[in-house]
Each structure stands twice: as structure tokens, then as C-alpha cells.
Amino acid sequence: MNLAVIGFGNAGGKIADRLLAFERETGRSLSAFAMAVNAAAIDLEKLEEIPEAKRLLIGQTHEQVKGRGAGADPELGAEVTRQDLNEIERALDGVPLHAVDGFLVVAGLGGGTGSGGAPVLAERLRETYEEPVYGLGVMPGSAEGGRASLNAARSLQSFTNATDNLMLFDNDAWRSTDDSIEGGYQRTNQELARRFVTLLAAGEIDGSQVSESAMDSSDIRRTLSTGGVSTIAYSEATVERETRKSQGLLGRLSTNGHDEQESENSDLPMKIHGLVRKAVQSRLTCPADVSSAERALIVISGPPREFSQKGIQRARQWLEQETQSVEVLAGDDPRQDADHLSACVLLSNVTDVPRVDQLQEQAVGAQDSIDDQAATREDEIDELITDDQNRLDPV
Ligand code: GDP
């Protein structure tokens, strides 16, 4: 797929930046257009891949914001986004509509600008364009506290409703105790980029490599067309020695034309089937009960000589059983020079996601204590500033 990628807020911008870096590093092509939108000037300055001309500062004239961000207040994030929607739309005039399959709006759900602003933008994009609008939403870690959970649980509702599909990444599932916060984000953003780019860029090849069952962007679109939220599974294995040899120039000349013969290697079907099982059974971008998915899609990516139709079919049948879904699509994505073979699985419209329930519980608790505090605050101030017997008068 080719997408117009818009990173909204701090996490959104950093992640969009990381997606571009991953594309560059692996020679893949996902974003036909990329842009960052933020209410905090300082966050936009930190980006490396998104060119300066494609970084838009919103809320500059807003009294409370003035380039300093929305202060983890999604209402404010939504307000400044609404206020500056025309400006955002003008910047989107640069999207090469003939070359994109859809939009991808990326945001962290626990803050203010992305949490409040991304759903507002997604809704407008859906009203304006015919192309599908996808979301990539990052759920906060539980250690971030009640306010982040409350923001995320509320944003999750509006972002899901405003998009054709909201793909989730759960920081809680990906945190590591020995990381610094920013170091941890760098690591998780890389893992996130690996999964999203490998999946969504499948099929975008320069035309020189053909394969029997190449993944097509319409397969991905179809799988995502369920609505709801989705999660992604991934695993990889190094390529065989023979493949590595064939990737050298001499080797490639000598095996030229023998790819089909190689793919009859009896271990390859097992390798592919095993990779898909391993992916689905390991950490998903957002943990979910696989059997609750409505549709699924498998992408096997790597050197074509490691592909096996038999393996892909077996993996597809296995996943059909696991998801109890009739609709599991599978295909490959040839990457001649890749040093590993990977399996990426999109589980679309998963409805059993314990982390969302947990987030909502934490959010309700936070909402209650915010309400309680608001109700008693006036009394507490009053009590503080008046003497015990109320014998003093204010001046
Ligand atoms: P905003 O700028 O107001 O939208 O807020 P941020 O994007 O700074 O933060 C929103 C949420 O995103 C936080 O609560 C974190 O959970 C998450 N977050 C912030 N930075 C990163 C990052 O680099 N990677 C990931 N995975 N999550 C992040």
C-alpha cells in the first residue's frame, strides 16, 4: 500500500518519522506523503525524516497554546485542531491522491494534541476524500497513571469511530523495566515500525520482482475494511545458507532461473508455517484474543527462493482454525536481498482485547476521582483560608 501518513502530536510525529526511517533502511515504500502536525513547536523540531516544510504547527494563535502544546488535555487538542483544520487541509493539498491507497493518522492516545486532534482530523479526511482513513493509535502504559488512561479511553472511542480501522500498539505490552523512558520509546518505535511497514508496504515493489502469489494492496484494504480495531503479529528467521550464497553476485548468476526448484525444498513449508504460528503466539502490537478477529491476512516477506506455496497454504489453514474465521488472506512480498524471512499477520476487528477493558476501568477510576476532587476543592479552599471559628473577615 501507499499511504499519506500524518503524525499527530509528539508520539505521532516520532512514530511517523520512524516509519520513514524504516522504509529507507529496508528499501520499502509505504508513505507517498508524510507530514507531522503538532501544537508544540519543540516536538516538531526534534523530527529527523519528515522535512521541515511538512511540519505544521497548529494552535499558534490560541491563548492557552501558543506553540507550547496542549498540556495533555485532549479537549484542548481537539479545539485547536478544529480551529486550524483549514490550514491542515491546505497542507494536505500536496497529497498525490492518484498514488495513495489511503491515509494513516498516527497518534499517542494518552496525551493531548494527538489524543484529541487525531480523531478530529480523521473525521474530516473521511468527509473529504474517498480513500480509506486508517489510524495507528498508541495506548499508554498503565504506569502513566489515571489521566493518560482517561485520555486514551476517550480518544479510543472517537478515533475508532472516525477511522475505517484503528490499528493499536500498546506501550504497556512493550515496556521494559530496564529502559529509560525515551530509550524505551526508541526501541519500541523501531519494533512498531518493523511491523507496520512490513505489513502495509507489502506489494509495493518496483516491478522487477514478480511472484506467484504476491500480496496486493487491495488484499490489505479488504482485510482492514471491517472497521473496529486491529492488532499485528510478527516473527522472523534468518535465511538459509544457500539463500545467502545466492544473494552474492556470483551465486545469483548461478541460481538464476532455479528459484522454483529451490522452493520445493521440503523444509521451507515447515519454516513458513512455523513462522506464522510463532508470530501469532508471540507478542502482538496490542495483545488480543486471536479467535475474536473477524478477518486476517498473512504476509510472508523475504527472498523469493524461500517462499513455499505449500507452507503459505498450510499457515493459512491453521490461522483459519485459530481465528475461526472464514476470511484469511495470505500472500508473499518478495525482497530479494533481505537477510531474513518474516511473517506478519494482521488480525482485523479483534473484539476481545483485555487491555482496552483494563484501560477503561482505570479511566473510570480516574474520572471518579477527578469529579470527587472537583466537588470538594471549593470547600477545601474555603476551609483553608478561613479561621476555625470564622471570626475573621476578609479585607
Ligand atoms: P501529545 O503530543 O499531546 O499528543 O502527547 P504525546 O504524544 O507526547 O504523548 C501521548 C502518549 O503517547 C503518551 O502518553 C505515551 O503513552 C505515548 N508516547 C509518547 N512518546 C512516545 C513514543 O515515542 N513512542 C511510543 N510508543 N509512545 C509514545
Task: Say yes or no: 126 and 260 in one domain.
Answer: no
**Cβ(155) to ligand 1 under 6 A?**
no
The rounded Å distance from CA 185 to ligand 1 centre is: 9
How close is the Cα of 220 to the center of ligand 1, in Å? Answer: 27
pLDDT over threshold 60, residue 213:
yes
Q: Is 189 in the pocket of ligand 1 (CB under 6 A)?
A: yes
- Sheet containing strand 102-108, edge to edge, reads 55-57, 31-38, 3-8, 102-108, 133-139, 165-170, 229-238, 340-348, 295-302, 328-334
User: Does 171 count as an annotated binding residue?
Assistant: yes
- Mean predicted confidence (pLDDT) in 254-267: 49
Say if residue 177 is in the same domain as residue 305.
no
Nearest CA to ligand 1 atom 5: 111
Q: Would the CB of 137 count as within 6 Å of ligand 1?
A: no
The verdict on residue 356 lying in a domain is no
Residue 300: beta bridge partners?
332, 343
Percentage with pLDDT > 70 across the chain: 93
Q: Is residue 62 part of a domain?
A: yes
User: In the listed set 181, 200, 219, which residue is the last one of a domain according to the structure?
Assistant: 200
From 106, 116, 109, 105, select the one nearest 170 (Cα to Cα).
109
Question: Quick check: CB of 163 below 6 Å from ligand 1?
Answer: no
Helix (H, G, I), strand (E, B) or coil at 229: strand
pLDDT on residue 242: 85
Q: DSSP H helical segments within 201-308, as ranges?
A: 217-224, 241-247, 249-255, 259-262, 267-281
Domain match, 8 and 84 both: yes
Give yes or no: residues 195 and 288 share one domain.
no
Specify whether 239 is located in the same domain as 323: yes
Residue 235 lies in a domain: yes
Cβ of 140 less than 6 Å from ligand 1: yes
Q: Which of 38-42, 101-105, 242-246 has the lowest mean pLDDT?
A: 242-246
pLDDT tops 50 at residue 260: no
Of the candidates 327, 324, 325, 319, the one whose C-alpha atom is nearest the C-alpha of residue 345 is: 319
146-162 and 74-83 helices cross at what angle (nearest 10)? 40
**Residue 239 located in a structural domain:** yes
- CATH number (domain holding residue 112): 3.40.50.1440
Residue 189 counted as an annotated binding residue = yes
The Cα-based distances of 265 to 226, 273, 336 in angstroms read 37, 14, 18
Q: Residue with C-alpha cell 511538512?
A: 54
Using alpha carbons, select from 19, 238, 225 the residue that is nearest to residue 132.
225
Gap from CA of 109 to ligand 1 centroid (Å): 7
Q: Is 151 in the pocket of ligand 1 (CB under 6 A)?
A: no
- Structural domain count, the chain: 2
- Whether the complex's predicted ipTM is more than 0.90 is answered with yes
Residue 117 included in any domain: yes
Among 163, 172, 213, which Cα is nearest to 334's? 213
Q: Which atom of ligand 1 lies at the shortest distance from residue 108's CA?
A: 12
**Cβ–ligand 1 contact at 36 (below 6 Å):** no
Residues 53 and 164 in one domain: yes
Distance 14 CA to ligand 1 centre (A): 9
Same domain, 47 and 177: yes
Give the pLDDT confidence of 110-148 residue by residue, as tens digits.
Answer: 999 999 999 999 999 999 999 999 999 999 999 999 999
Mean pLDDT of 148-174: 97
Residues spanned by the domain of 343: 229-348
Residue 229's pLDDT is 98
Task: Please give the Cα distance from 202 to 103 (Å, whole number).
Answer: 16
Is the pLDDT assigned to residue 177 strictly greater than 80?
no
Do 119 and 55 share a structural domain?
yes
Q: What is the C-alpha separation between 223 and 57, in angstroms, rounded?
A: 34
What band does 255 get if pLDDT is binned at 50, 70 and 90?
Answer: very low
What pLDDT shows up at residue 70?
A: 87
Q: Is residue 386 part of a domain?
A: no
Q: Are 189 and 136 in contact (CB under 8 A)?
A: no
Q: What is the pLDDT of residue 210?
A: 64
Ligand 1: residue of 169, 171, 188, 195 to mutate (most ligand atoms within 8 A of CB) is 171
The least confident of 36-45, 172-181, 352-361 is: 172-181
Nearest CA to ligand 1 atom 13: 110
> Ligand 1 in contact with 164 (CB < 6 A)?
no
Is 198 annotated to bind ligand?
no
Answer whether residue 104 is part of any domain. Answer: yes
* Residue 324 dihedral angles phi and psi, to the nearest 5°: 50, 40
Contact yes or no for 355/283 (Cβ under 8 A): no
